[in-house]
Structure 1
Amino acid sequence: MVTTSDASHLIVLIFGAAALLLWGTRMARTGITRAYGQEIRGLISSGLSNRLVAAGSGLASAAVLQSSMAVALFLASFTRLGAVSVATGLAVMLGADIGSAVVASLLTLNIKQLWPVLIAVGFVVHTAYDGRNAKGKQLGRVMLGLGLVLLALSALGVAAQNLSSSEVLQLVLVSLAGQNVLVIVIVALLTWLAHSSIAILLLVASMAAAGVLTTPELIVAIVLGINIGGGIPAILLTWSETVEARRIAVGNGLFRLLGAALAFAFIPDIAKLYAMMPEKSALAVIALHLAFNFCLVLLCLPIVGPIARLLATLIKPPENAPDDFGPKFINGNIVQYPPSLAISALLRETIRMIDLVEDMLGKSQVILMKGDRAQAGEVHHLDDRLDTLYEAIKSSATDLTREELEIGESRRAVDIISYAANLENAGDLIEKNLLDTVENKVKSSAQFSSEGEAEIIRLFGYVKETAHVAAGTAMSWELGNAQVLIGRKSEFKSLAKESLEKHLQRLRKREQKSLETSSFHLDLLGDLQRVNSLLCGIGYSVRQSHLP
């Protein structure tokens, strides 16, 4: 019989072991995504050709990542690129649900005694490669995580053995017998709160192996609750993503709910089949979970097309939402993604900022050359958009730097923040200085000389071309592109100096148009030079990152 002090100790042990289990799975998953994030992304993308292959790629990816939720987040990044349809994404998620069950089955094998070896070797590998080899360090992290998982399962096994003699627990379990709906709801909520169906499944399997859970119908209801709750986190985490990502997550949740509803009607029959398995077997619980997800694939894979069409009518994109106002690629919590994907998303938003700066220059040039002052409002509007993107990039990149990143990843995140600030300054410079000069020139009705106008047009074009080079440099992060971009800073200075000398020659000749527009010409030279320099800033960061 369990005493009060023993009960308190067991409760602490169970909660501590459960927390260690969650942390260990998260650590292992983080290590895998950081070491092989691009390869896993390639694995998923290579399996998008047909639905059966897509389900297979989802299975393999979830088995590697130890989480179907992580696969859902990878899919969200593909939907931003338009690279995956909702129907194909649903097929991937069906396979991913099986993959996570396969991982759970492997962890129930009699390998718990290996935890000291995994932790010791993982620590040595992680320490040896720290700061030298990113993949080596992350492989050490994976071994540490798996070691913690096995340690947690060992502790849960001990706790479960002691719980088998608890009269209070037996009374609770007896009271839950026959209350299948209540059990499903409670377990679904616990799985959602834990954000890990594998962790809850392993906890239940440990209790079954220790003889704490012996009622087949109760175990079936618990497994159904785990499957329903396992789909909730992906729905919540992708709700701020693209509408396609939301449809995939909701569709996967609907599949789980549909499967659970059908299984609920046959709980007594399923319980009889479960009772035929060996008693006190953790693997029996895992096999039940695996069978549920395998049946779900057989049932739902043929109907992913109709379900995708149904979801398109139920979940519609926001009406009248501006296409390019606000972030497109960093919606939601960016730290959910592998650092490589998060940085790629930040860079894509940064390129959108470059495009906005170029648009501001183009509209300012239209005002200057055609006198169309109605475009001024558009310039102000573009600057507001630029500010919005800057705040989003700064916030997301700052959140990312708080995570444990490799040195290169952390430096790149900081470089992105710095360059985004450059672009925001460039926008302010155009809106407050250059546009003011342009509007004053239009108001004055003064005209540039033909030579002066040609020089200004050429310089505007040069800065807009610099924007193109900057965008390519930011996305490629290649040294050659960076050198070209840096060179454009000094090239513009030479062009501006040449224009200044020619302008002074015209002033010495007392050319009337040059005299009337001299202040405008000089102000535009200075403003364009500063904007060009700010655009070139990313080149220095790229060059620095390639230094030994």
Structure 2
Amino acid sequence: MDKELLLLIGGVGLFLLGMIILTEGLRGLAGGAMRRVLTRFTKTPVTGAITGALTTAVIQSSSATTVAAVSFVAAGLLTFPQALGIIFGANIGTTVTGWIIAILGFKLHMGQIVLPFIFIGVLLKLFGNARLGQIGWALAGFSLLFIGIESMQQGMAPYEGIITPSVFPDDTFFGRLQLVAIGAIITLVTQSSSAGVVAALVALSAGSVTFSQAAAMVIGMDIGTTFTAALATIGGSTATRQTGYAHVIYNAMTGIMAFFLLGPFSGFADTFIATGGPGSAQISLVAFHTAFNVLGVLLILPFASPFARLIVRIVPERGPPLLQRLDEHLLSDPASAVDAVIATIRDILGSIIGIMSELLDPKRKMHFDAAQLKSVDEALAETYRFVEKIQTDPAQKRVHNRHLATVHALDHLIRLSHRCTQTHRIETLRSESRLYRLSGMLRNTIMSLLENPVSSLEEGRLERVHSIFLKQRGVYRDRIVEHSARQQMSAHTALERLDSIRWLHRVSYHLWRIEHHLHRAEEVGKEPPAQSDTRKLELDVEED
């Protein structure tokens, strides 16, 4: 293997490394803002496409945008058609990389210029604070892109006249199909459509391929990006599988459209290349890449809702209903994983409250659905295992605090579920007038919580109810002990009633703390970092 080939392979590696580092840095800088922009401005599939394109262009990662969209659907923050708009727009956002490379990488030859910026970027990463470190990482990654391109160009130089368009399939219908397949394979190997597009740009600039051949490969690279989405459909949650299928079908449709547009576009491109001077071939290629992606989005957006319904029919829900939102793929983005956990906790809380409202209903016999409670307990155990797998950095206080809040809420939820099995204590509530009235107050409160599960007013109401029960517990205890001491009540009856008032107090406490921690997690998730990073979660110190 000669050194030129090693230089070519190394250039591809440097470019991929630069993309990874750049994306990591930009996500660190804009991750929180990205999530707020996507949820705030995505109201329809059209606005979703715009925010998806802009977000992907900024963070240089369509996969990160897609994962965020999936998590928003899982958390109930976006509908599936809205999320589809984001995914469609992400395809447009990925083409920005090609424009940057075509304009700066080939026209300005920045390989030597950016070397000092790698040193500066690494220094910022090593010695700066968290934000400066992310800026340094993004700067170093951006610089590596151009060094990788220059290395690829130098590696390709000796092969001019050896690797020519005649080496590749002819510019015919079947030849283009083969080129599309080659492009898809390149993306499968590199796991980056951007790297594939840059390789096509380098080959085009070296004269190794014609415009039509390079464009056909770019179509294949766009289709090849769906491989990761297709893998995500295996064993993923319903939202992930639906998104994966939508991504595959949409990109395949766009690829077919682009394939038939290639002929007419090549005629315009050849004229522009002949008269446009140096770099016009590369500009034409990235223009084609952007054009067919934009056209694909414009054609699909009017049919986003019917398309979403089709996908839902193809990929129906499966598995336990309470665990539909949890997906191992979300663990790559802790903020998205936390979103899914919060929504899952709310679902489980709704089930437990439903069971509890029936137990507290004086018109019903004292009975609970053991199978339903078993499914709740299984969902709690699985959710806890999922939470244990989430890894958040304490330096990223906003996400870390939300993670801690879910742990607190889940702990109280597990204990609340256990209270549902203590039917003997609930039954005692019907035996005495004061206990009966207090249990009615608790039932009215949890029924209100069912109707307004995410209202901040409910947290305040639950806190007031808990305070009432705390006070009543002390008063009632003194009264029962006195009656027992005077032989007006058996010791057994006294203990049963004390257990029941304690049950009411603890249930009200768990409900209040669950709502408190969930509300805090949701509130912190909406705040800008400057505010939310300074917030601290309160510790629960009351005994169980």
The interval holding the TM-score normalised by the smaller chain is 0.7 to 0.9
1:67 corresponding residue in structure 2 = 61
**Contact in 2 for aligned 1:349/1:393 (Cα 8 Å):** no
Distance (whole Å) between structure 1 residues aligned to residue 409 and residue 89 of structure 2: 41
The equivalent residue for 1:423 is 413
Q: Does the Cα contact within 8 Å between 2:196 and 2:221 map onto a contact in 1? A: yes
1:453 equivalent in structure 2: 436
Deviations 1:122-165 (A, max 9, x none): 3444456535xxx5543333223323333333333333335548
Aligned pair partner of 2:167 in 151, 164, 174: 174
Which position in structure 1 is the counterpart of 2:527? none
The answer for the alignment partner of 2:13 in structure 1 is 16
Other-structure match for 2:260: 262
The aligned residue for residue 119 of structure 1 is 118
- 1 CA distance for matches of 2:317 and 2:97? 44
Shift of 1:525: 3.1
Q: Size of the alignment, in residue pairs? A: 511
1:503 to 471, 480, 485: 480
Stretches of structure 1 lacking an aligned partner (at least 5 in a row): none
Distance in structure 1 (CA, Å) of the matches to 2:323 and 2:316: 17
Native 8 Å contact 2:22 2:137 kept in 1: no
TM-superposition CA deviations, 1:174-209 (whole Å, max 9, x none) = 154464323312321332454432222123223333
Give the secondary-structure state (helix, strand or coil) at the position aligned to 1:213.
coil
Contact 1:232 1:253 in 2 (8 A): no
| d(CA) in 1 for partners of 2:186, 2:349 | 45
The whole-number CA distance in structure 1 between the counterparts of 2:249 and 2:317 is: 25
Amino acid at match of 2:38: R
Alignment CA distance shift 1:405-1:226 (3 Å): farther
Q: Please state how far the C-alpha of 1:327 moved relative to its aligned partner.
A: 3.0
Distance change >3 Å, CA 276–CA 436, structure 1 → 2: farther
Matches of 1:241 and 1:263, distance apart in 2: 34
Match of 1:41 in 2: 38
1:151 and 1:540 mapped to 2: Cα distance? 48
1:249 aligns with 2:247: yes
Residues 284 and 412 of structure 1: CA distance in aligned 2, closer, same or farther (over 3 Å): same
SS at match of 2:360: helix
The aligned amino acid for 1:448 is: S
Of 487-496 and 289-298, deviating more is: 487-496
- Give the alignment's TM-score, normalised by structure 2: 0.76
Check the 8 A contact 1:231/1:252 in 2, yes or no. no
Deviation at 1:534, TM superposition (A): 4.2
Residue of structure 2 aligned with 1:435, choices 411, 420, 423: 423
CA shift in 2, pair 1:383/1:364, >3 Å: farther
**1:68 touches 1:100 (CA, 8 Å); kept in 2?**
yes
Paired residue type of 1:263: L
Q: What SS does the corresponding residue of 1:428 show, helix, strand or coil? A: helix
Q: 1:429 to 1:149 in 2, by over 3 A?
A: farther
Q: Does the Cα contact within 8 Å between 2:60 and 2:97 map onto a contact in 1?
A: yes
Amino acid at match of 1:158: Q
Where do 1:309-320 residues align within 5 Å? 309=306, 312-313=309-310, 315-316=312-313
1:219 to 214, 233, 238: 214
Give the distance between the partners of 2:537 and 2:491, measured in 1 at CA.
48
Instruction: Give the superposition deviation at 1:316.
Output: 0.9
Paired residues for 1:257-406 under 5 Å: 257-263=255-261, 269=267, 272=270, 276=274, 281=279, 284-285=281-282, 287-298=284-295, 301-302=298-299, 304-306=301-303, 308-309=305-306, 312-313=309-310, 315-316=312-313, 325-337=321-333, 339-366=334-361, 369-370=362-363, 372-373=365-366, 375-377=367-369, 380-392=371-383, 394-395=385-386, 397-401=387-391, 406=396
- DSSP-derived class of the 1:376 partner: coil
Question: Are the aligned partners of 1:33 and 1:65 in contact in 2 as well (CA < 8 Å)?
Answer: yes
1:401 aligns to what SS in structure 2? coil
1:520 to 496, 520, 532: 496
Tell me the secondary structure at the aligned position of residue 343 of structure 1: helix
Q: Which amino acid aligns with 2:96?
A: V
Give matches, 1:177-192, under 5 Å: 177=170, 179-192=175-188
Displacement, 1:342?
3.9
**Are 1:142 and 2:138 counterparts?**
yes
- Rounded to whole Å, the distance in 2 between the matches of 1:313 and 1:462 is 40
Deviation at 1:389, TM superposition (A): 4.2
Give distance in 1, aligned partners of 2:481 and 2:303: 72
Asked if structure 2 preserves the Cα contact closer than 8 Å seen for 1:31 and 1:142, the reply is no
After superposition, the C-alpha distances for 1:243-302 in whole angstroms (9 at most, x for unaligned) are 874575345324322323313666975774576376884x63453233243245346624
C-alpha deviations, 1:341-394, integer Å up to 9, x for none? 44333323233333334333323323xx34514x4125x513522431442354
Amino acid at match of 1:312: R
Partner Cα separation in structure 1 for residue 45 and residue 24 of structure 2: 32
CA change 1:332–1:189 in 2 (3 A) is farther
Asked if the contact 1:75–1:89 (Cα under 8 Å) also holds between the matched residues in 2, the reply is: yes
Secondary structure at the aligned position of 1:27 is classed as: helix
Task: Note if contact 1:334-1:400 (Cα within 8 Å) is conserved in structure 2.
Answer: no
Cα contact 1:90–1:251 (8 A) shared by 2: no
TM, length-normalised to structure 1: 0.75
Letter in 1 for 2:436: E
Q: Does 1:105 align with 2:126?
A: no
1:401: Cα distance to partner?
Answer: 0.8
Q: CA RMSD in A?
A: 4.4
Q: 1:28 to 1:161 in 2, by over 3 A?
A: farther
Aligned partners of 1:319, 1:54: CA distance in 2, in Å?
23
Unpaired runs of 5+ residues, structure 2, are: 521-533, 539-544
Aligned residue identity for 2:372: H
Using the TM superposition, give the Cα deviation of residue 91 of structure 1 relative to its aligned residue in structure 2, in angstroms: 5.4
- What is the rounded CA distance, in whole Å, between the counterparts of 2:90 and 2:220 in structure 1? 18
Counterparts of residues 198-209 of structure 1 (less than 5 Å):
198-209=194-205
Question: For 1:276, what is the secondary structure of its paired residue?
Answer: helix
- Identity among equivalent positions (%) equals 15
State the SS of the aligned residue for 1:372: coil
Deviations 1:426-476 (A, max 9, x none): 313432xx135447x69xxxx613234334544666788899999667x99
